Structure 1
Amino acid sequence: MLAIAQLSAKRLRLPRSWSYRLHDAQRIHSITTSRLDPTIRDFASSLAAKQPCFSLPSQSVRVLSEPADFYRSLLNIILRARKRIFLSSLYIGSSENELIDTLDLALSRNPDLHVYLTLDYNRSTRPGPSSPILSLLPLLRQYQDRIHISLFRSPKLKGVMAEMVPPRFNEGWGTWHAKIYGADDEVIISGANLNKSYFTDRQDRYFHFSAQPALTNYCFSFLRTISNFSYRLLPSNTTNGHSLEWLNRDIGPWNFQSKAESALKKLQYSNLSASLCSPELKGASGNDVLLFPVIQAGQFNIREEEQSLSLLFEHLNSQRCIESSNPSMDLTSGYFGLYKPYQDLVLNSSIGCDIIAASPKANGFYGSGGLSGLIPEGYTLLEQRFMRAARAAGRISSTGKSLNNDVRLKEWEKDGWTYHAKGIWLSPSPDTTPVLTLFGSTNLNSRSSHLDTELSFIMMTSSEALRHTLRQEVVGLRHWAVPWKGDERKVRWRTKAIVGLVGGML
């Protein structure tokens, strides 16, 4: 195992004055990672040299399984808040009156409380009477000194194209996609947005962390960093009742890519330094969870998720050769069009991989009008291509009998529900419980990798109880999974043409 100090000094070029701290960090992290399963121990050490790392007890982690549980926990977090509430989502639904009323109640009870909302500009300002932004205006007018609303607009779509592309379609060039719901020292990390379906009948994943000031401070700092490259929503006496102000006078709203890249990398570097050098970790002997935040923002040249997954497979493949281990992976995405480098990682390995994708009926665009109604069919086409590639790579058994190291694809379907869950679980073998999971906003597709701004987390644990909970999470998703039927479905020529034109935007 390479020493954390050696990796850090080589890759990060830390000042010489920190050498004694790096030595201490090596001892700290070796204690922490030594409890992990051998399957991921070396990977954890290597990742800790690249990414911020939070060490915490498994008792502070709750894995929620149902949309209703997520909604109740969200409202309770808001009502418990005393100093700050920070919510990050693609959008807040226009009819979420209870959520808005709960924010109102929390603000009225606590004069020191501030609320920070980070949302996507294009998704939140769709025109019409049901525009999501309109539901926020009464709250903004009443508490404008204590509610701070940032609207992020991707700089990818600019110039004449920005004027030509109509609303709704402009989201194809990138969105703010991070889903973070926190207050004071607790936070929920999810892939769910703040809309009724996500609270009732749209399946996702949800991780609630309590009494974790370092983690919540990180999440809050991440959102405040991106707010410097966003519009601020202000009340006004205009016809639509609001105005949008670009606050950063140093750069314009279309040319901030390099500044955003520097700011986000600085955030990660500062938290990496803190995680390596923090004396608090010295007393972390009772902690049995390591949590690594990874940012994927292709338009800002930040690809931490991509680099982390490449590192994971590198370790798994080398370990399998050396130790003859038999790791098993579960992978899911509601929009399964696996990013080509990720597809190569899966197909070029010999690790068994069970995949769950949304069935066409469980796709959020099923039954939509216009071109968006073709999206489920477009994902069927991407699934067909993946399965052909898996057969060509010898990753699907030709005997008809499934083997442990096969790639298997199933589709999730539950009457009246849609599917939005995404992530990865890794187990030392098919018969053991997961020791690692990736969760957050990423869909693991080309869009998440290149266009949207994502925040996800890699969590590793030695806790038997938490590992069992992660296993139950997988079992719960598998319960509604049936054999993939994509080979039986026909894809129309116009869908193929559209996917060929905009496939990376799906």
Structure 2
Amino acid sequence: MDSMTKLYYLGMPTAKRQQWTTSLQKSYSANLSKDYFTNRQDRYHLFSSKTITDYYAKVHDVVCSLSFKVQPNDKVENRFELVWPPSNPAPSPLEDKSGFKSAASALISPLLKPTSTPGPRKSKTVVYPIGQFTPLMSDENHSTEHPGILSILRTLSREDFAKSSWTFTAGYFNMHRELKELLLASKSELGTVVTAAPEANGFYGSAGVSGYLPPGYLILARRFLEEVKKVRGGEGVELLEWRRGIVGQPGGWTYHAKGIWITLPEYTSPSLTVVGSSNYTRRSKKLDLEMNALVITEDKELQRELAGEVEHLKTYAKPLELEDFEKEDKKVPWETKVLLWLLSWGL
């Protein structure tokens, strides 16, 4: 269940939520499995707002109307088939890719554009939905997540933000190049990146190519620290590695938290955060559908809670330094290095 769906789900009445969960478990057992909700570090924000819930519900319903229906079929090898309902407001992308993208854009673009001019603020907290729907867009891409986040991070390069600080985390450490460059160029006193240790990656110990992914992220973590040294002289940005036991063993946890927190000058706790489904990679920008919420708050209690969220993530995280990659447990098999070279890790 991605974060867009979680927001919709959490806004439902209890009875409808139970009914919806039962229905989804039949067709999305992979995402609603026990493993997804057990021994897994993630982020959950509850928005008690009919306006916000209705908005995410509209996005959810539009995406559903542009999707194949999965239904059982014992006559085919996988025992299920994908069917394009004739009621969908777009032709099947397998039959008419251009027509599908044109219809999808017409449906999604209005949901990504502001519907009215902001009026006087009545609350200490403002929520801006930002989404990434590049695969469904035709000629003009109205996606708001990537450009919105970049716009925010550009402000950190200003001198008047020298007293600020930021925290970044993602379940899969392969941040988009533009995002990484802006974080490294920030004037902030301290930037913190929290990444998953190989032992906290859901692919740890798996068979096949996926088993090379956890050590592959180690290579990217080392490269990141090398860039910190090159761009900032090794100062002002710390990399923390999150680990709680070993995946697949008793008490082992996986790490799937992702988000950005920014503490503005003269503040001691974050007053801005981004929460949602994005992993902040090129894949998220180009190939995935993402829905997020940009939260800006002046509420002191909420700021303290955001600070507590960051500190909680640090409970099982330890600093990772360049010299640590010389240790035996950080050695990467040569096969992984070759695979990393062959694959386009920008995705």
Name the CA distance, whole Å, in 1 between partners of 2:292 and 2:230: 31
Question: What is aligned with 1:297?
Answer: 133
Q: How many residues align?
A: 317
Match of 2:103 among 236, 248, 259: 259
Structure of higher CA gyration radius: 1
Measure how far apart 1:199 and its partner are.
1.6
Stretches of structure 2 lacking an aligned partner (at least 5 in a row): 1-5, 246-251
Q: How far did 1:196 drift?
A: 1.3
2:342 paired residue number: 501
User: How far off is 1:325 after superposition?
Assistant: 4.3
Q: For 1:384-423, what aligned pairs fall within 5 Å after superposition? A: 384-397=222-235, 406-415=236-245, 416-423=252-259
Q: Which amino acid aligns with 2:202?
A: G
- Give the C-alpha shift of residue 448 in structure 1: 1.4
Q: Is the 2:11–2:47 Cα contact (8 Å) retained in structure 1?
A: no
Following the alignment from structure 1 to structure 2, what is the Cα–Cα distance between the partners of residues 313 and 235?
Answer: 46
Aligned to 2:249: none
Aligned-partner residue type, residue 115 of structure 2: S
Structure 1 residue identity aligned to 2:194: I
Relative to structure 1, the CA distance from residue 360 to residue 394 in structure 2 (aligned partners, 3 Å threshold; closer, same or farther) is same
Quote the residue 1:199 is aligned against.
37
How far 1:310 sits from its partner (Å)?
1.8
Gaps of 5+ in 1: 1-70, 86-101, 108-114, 118-134, 138-148, 150-191, 398-405
In the alignment, structure 1 residue 313 sits paired with structure 2 residue 153: yes
Which of 163, 173, 176 is 1:339 aligned to?
176
Residue of structure 1 equivalent to 2:332: 491
TM-superposed deviation, 1:197? 2.1
- In structure 2, the partner of 1:136 is 26
TM-score (norm 2): 0.81
- 1:195–1:505 distance in 2 versus 1, CA, 3 Å: farther
Q: Report the Cα offset of residue 251 of structure 1.
A: 2.2
**CA 1:310–1:249: 2 relative to 1, 3 Å:** closer
Aligned 1:8-157 pairs, distance under 5 A: 79-81=14-16, 102-103=18-19, 136=26
- Percent identity over the alignment is 32
Post-superposition shift, 1:326? 0.9
Describe the superposition over 1:332-382 as per-residue Cα deviations: whole angstroms up to 9, x where unpaired: 111111111111111122222101000110111111111111110110111
Residue 370 of structure 1 corresponds to which residue in structure 2? 208
Q: Cα 1:380–1:236, aligned 2, differ >3 Å: closer, same or farther? A: closer
Give me the whole-angstrom Cα distance separating, in 2, the residues matched to 1:302 and 1:498.
Answer: 34
**Gap change, CA 1:395 and 1:335, over 3 Å in 2:** farther
Between the aligned partners of 1:436 and 1:199, the Cα distance in structure 2 is: 26
The alpha-carbon distance between structure 1 residues 494 and 237, as it changes in their structure 2 partners (threshold 3 A), is: closer
- Where 1:273 maps in the other structure, the secondary structure is coil
Instruction: State the shift of 1:76 in Å.
Output: 10
Q: For residues 490 and 430 of structure 1, what CA distance do their matches in structure 2 show?
A: 42
Give secondary structure in 2 for the equivalent of 1:376: helix
Equivalent residues of 1:437, 1:458 under 8 A apart: yes
Deviations 1:42-68 (A, max 9, x none): xxxxxxxxxxxxxxxxxxxxxxxxxxx
**Preserved contact between residue 229 and residue 253 of structure 1 (Cα < 8 Å):** no
TM-score where L is the length of structure 1: 0.57
- Aligned partner of 2:115 among 273, 286, 291: 273
1:434 maps onto 2:270 in alignment: yes
Q: Are the equivalent residues in 2 in contact too, given 1:303–1:449 (CA < 8 A)? A: no
Counterparts of 1:423 and 1:249, CA distance in 2: 33
Are 2:162 and 2:187, in contact at CA under 8 Å, matched by a contact in 1?
Answer: no
Which residue identity does 1:365 align to in structure 2?
F
Letter aligned with residue 109 of structure 2:
K
Q: Does 1:355 align with 2:193?
A: yes
